[in-house]
Structure 1
Amino acid sequence: MAQGPAGEHHGEFKVPGGKLVVADFGVADGLIHGVSINGDFFLEPDEALDDINAALEGLPAGSTHGEIAEAVRRRLRPGAELFGFSADAVATAVRRALGRASTWADHSWEIIGPTPLSTGMHVAMDEVLTRRVGEGLRKPTLRFWEWESPSVVIGSFQSVRNEVDDEAVRRHGITVVRRISGGGAMFMEHGNAITYSLYFPQSLVDGMSFADSYPFLDDWVMEGLRKLGISAWYQPLNDIATDLGKIGGAAQKRLSNGGMLHHVTMSYDIDADKMLEVLRIGREKLSDKGIKSAKKRVDPLRRQTGLAREEIIRVLSDTFRERYGAVDGELSSLELAAARDLVDRKFGTEEWLHRVP
């Protein structure tokens, strides 16, 4: 958001796969005035631009994204056609101009490299860091996971007994934990997957649908995979796919304090036979990844790149660093202590693990 000496506000939003929308206006007595919406979009008829500007004139500066977009939709004349942008895109540009929606460049980012933690500590750390970002106590952060032991991480709303085979879990010495985000179960062993978490203010995805926020938040990942020779895309809602099948999945959690968690796991070298034993829905999981035979290992990233897992993480990390000016960070002693406390009180308890019968 830019604000000039006369109180003028300037915001920009590039529609993913579409056009640039720019909002310029002033604010007086809490109301938007002197509106100019502009950009490289297409609009028919020309007079519809007057409709958009008039819809915004006099709106309270505290209007929500939905209220702004609806005001534009109501004011547009019948038959007006917007090409490369939408009423929602206009609302995002306006909210950015007001400082209520943010861009990647509005934040100072940190990267925490792969740090070995117990699985309980990993899921607890997700909650701790999301809350701290929401409270303004930590900069927005990208954190890569490292595994200490074989684990199954189930979604917030899954049933343990429906997802996990108890006998196989005991036989293979696997830890089962529940995370705070939704989605499906993940089977992890050391070196078999690439998992990362993003912690950031919800203003970064202000006005976006859940479906739109997933590819938006992982566009840097797609760029990194392209550098590795992999053409990947989002398959709604939360799957990352290639021509050879699914390679990963994402999940999100938004907290009431304004912090947001977005985390992704991508398969590198998974033992499909063991996965089938441990997860009750293992066969369905494999079919979703485009794998026909459970007797072969599931290794999309290893097979498609021929690179070590550490090299793939380096390329992804460097891509994020170059895009967003991120610097190296680390977990503080306070954050580690808070996560250990959460493991004791929540993530390591039977009550939390079996909260869904």
Structure 2
Amino acid sequence: MKEMRLIVDPPARGTWNMAVDEAILRGAVDLEMPTLRFYAWSEPTLSLGYFQKYNDRQQHEASVDCVCVRRASGGGAIMHHRELTYSFVAPVRDSRSEETTRWFDRFHETLIKVLANWQINAHLSGKPHASSQQEPFLCFQRRHEVDVIVDDNKICGSAQRRHQVAVLQHGSVILQQSPCAPELLGLEEITGQKISAEMLTDLWKDALKTTFQSTYIQMPLTDKEVESAQEIESVKFAHPDWTHKR
């Protein structure tokens, strides 16, 4: 079986979370193994998709006073609050291969199986109907065929960032409704069941281990990755030029 590094991090500021993901991506070839990371956010944080305009956040009143970061991946804005975030990074020979695109299916299908442990009936969205309307500001009000749906509510979506020799995929699962995004229901409001981030992490990581036919190595960030993340946070994710670049 292949080895995979597993990291379960405590809540951290948004700029650090994004910097760590990128540091792992940049060092993936040197590490020579995939990294699966689960993490949370130390305060309600709005993350903009790479191509979104910063001023567009003004259209979402509930989150206007929240800290804001810009992701390196595309898609709509995400309110990181009362949810679980994961990232998966692996060195690849071809970042555009069908195998890396299938990561969406692997993660979302295993999540569906895990939710069945709580008798929650989740499914993939399937190809959405074509619409001429502008896509909503919030990611969880958008629909893509691999999104995870429960009772017509999107509860998980993911995005990828590709380097030539490595790929980062990260995504979020809404566990509870946030007052900073009240239009989005979480699993607790939809199903009446309170599922903690720890409970979901424990079952999901076991399912992913089977799916990827891997064994986990509990290994923290290397010194080189920590130094890289500190620099990336300073010059990129915590810098106004990056956050306000569009």
| TM bracket (short chain) | 0.7 to 0.9
1:250 maps to which of 148, 152, 158: 158
CA contact (8 A) 2:79 2:180 kept: no
Q: Which residue of 2 aligns with 1:306?
A: 194
Tell me, yes or no, if structure 1 residue 116 matches structure 2 residue 14: no
Aligned residues between the structures: 225
Q: Which residue of 2 aligns with 1:221?
A: 111
Q: Residues 47-196 of structure 1 correspond to what in structure 2 (within 5 A)?
A: 105=1, 107-133=2-28, 135-164=29-58, 172=65, 174-189=66-81, 192-196=82-86
Q: Which residue of 2 aligns with 1:269?
A: 176
State TM-score, norm by structure 1.
0.57
Please list the CA deviations of residues 24-79 of structure 1 after superposition, one character each: whole Å capped at 9, or x if unmatched: xxxxxxxxxxxxxxxxxxxxxxxxxxxxxxxxxxxxxxxxxxxxxxxxxxxxxxxx
Offset at residue 117 of structure 1 (A): 2.0
Distance change >3 Å, CA 268–CA 166, structure 1 → 2: closer
Offset at residue 253 of structure 1 (A): 0.7
Identity among equivalent pairs (%)? 24
Distance change >3 Å, CA 313–CA 212, structure 1 → 2: closer
Offset at residue 187 of structure 1 (A): 0.8
Larger Rg: 1
1:241 maps to which of 149, 152, 156: 149
Q: Which residue of 1 aligns with 2:139?
A: none
Extract unaligned runs of 5+ from structure 1.
1-104, 277-285, 290-297
Offset at residue 275 of structure 1 (A): 1.9
The aligned amino acid for 2:166 is G
CA contact (8 A) 1:250 1:262 kept: yes
Q: Which residue of 2 aligns with 1:60?
A: none
Q: In structure 2, what is the Cα distance between the partners aligned to 1:161 and 1:352?
A: 13
Distance change >3 Å, CA 303–CA 309, structure 1 → 2: farther
Offset at residue 221 of structure 1 (A): 2.4
Offset at residue 249 of structure 1 (A): 1.1
